[in-house]
Amino acid sequence: MPNVTPNTAAIEPQKPKVAFFEFADCEGCQLCAIDLTPEQLLDLTAVIDIVEFREAFSEKADGSDSTGGDSHSGYDIAIIEGSITRDSDAERLKKIRAAAKIVIALGACAHIGGINALKNCQTKKEYTEEVYPTDPNKYETTTAKALDEIIKVDGFIPGCPIDTGEFIRVVKNIVLGKNPDIPTYPVCVECKKKENVCAYEKGMICLGPITRAGCGARCPSNGGYCFGCRGLIPEPNVNAQEDIMQKYNLSFEGMKDKFKLFLQRSKEVFPDAE
């Protein structure tokens, strides 16, 4: 997904109206977005007007009562969490797109399909029978997708979960009419700046070399490896990732498993995925 500069000229007045929506997700990224100090919360509400946010309050952007569905008017920016796992959700999403001047994908599920897309590695029959063995057809469900597979997305805030500081930076940049400014370089840059011992040197399979930075290499800095939750960098050399497996005598299958967790919707990794 390209880093598109939002058309902020279309927004007026200075304080844009922002609505939050969610689809298939855990709501954790929305929680991160408002995991602020009281001072930060006041600063945030001084630059944007949050008009709909089901997880935080019951008012609606269009003035309707809280029992209704999504508002389709009364906001400039839609910040959307979650992946799209039902045909009816795709229709919901299109209506929000039509009502918003700017759409921002919030978190890995909205940005790249997230963990929900793991189920795409199985057939629909397999996963519905596994989750609902007594009534597999009870709930509507289909292939889990990222928002930009359905609608045009103007910007994204990656990660599982998102980084609160990055959320603030993106909001600030949109208000200022700037590019969202999400790094295009990989996690290795941040690991090196922190002088971490490379996860490969510790015998781990790490997706840092092909994963978008911006998290401060959080997982490798705390004894782990990169899961790829922030999605791929713009031109990942996935073939070279295979060479690394050989160099460190690690299994290619093990790496493919790591790819499945967050990168199932990435064509560079799974070109044949539905």
What are the φ and ψ backbone dihedral angles of 68, each rounded to 5 degrees?
-75, 180
Question: CB-based contacts of 119: which residues, under 8 Å, 6+ apart?
Answer: 127, 144
x/- map, 150-169, other proteins, by CB under 8 A: ------------------xx
Q: Judged by CB under 8 A, does residue 267 bind other proteins?
A: no
Helix 38-47, helix 164-175: angle, nearest 10? 30
Q: Judged by CB under 8 A, does residue 12 bind other proteins?
A: no
C-alpha span between 109 and 89 (Å, rounded): 14
Footprint (CB under 8 A) of other proteins, residues 233-252: 233-237, 240-241, 243-244, 247
Question: Is-contact 241 268, C-beta < 8 A?
Answer: no
Q: Judged by CB under 8 A, does residue 186 bind other proteins?
A: yes
Interface residue with other proteins among 11, 19, 44, 269 (CB under 8 A) is 44
Token match 């292939």: residue?
A: 143
By C-alpha distance, which of 207, 212, 218 is closest to 250?
207
Interface residue with other proteins among 94, 152, 192, 267 (CB under 8 A) is 192
Footprint (CB under 8 A) of other proteins, residues 49-68: none
By C-alpha distance, which of 153, 151, 129 is closest to 141?
129
Interface residue with other proteins among 124, 200, 250, 270 (CB under 8 A) is 200
Task: Give me the residues that bind other proteins (CB under 8 A), please.
Answer: 40, 43-44, 46-47, 168-169, 171-172, 175-176, 181, 184-186, 188-189, 191-193, 195-198, 200, 208-210, 233-237, 240-241, 243-244, 247
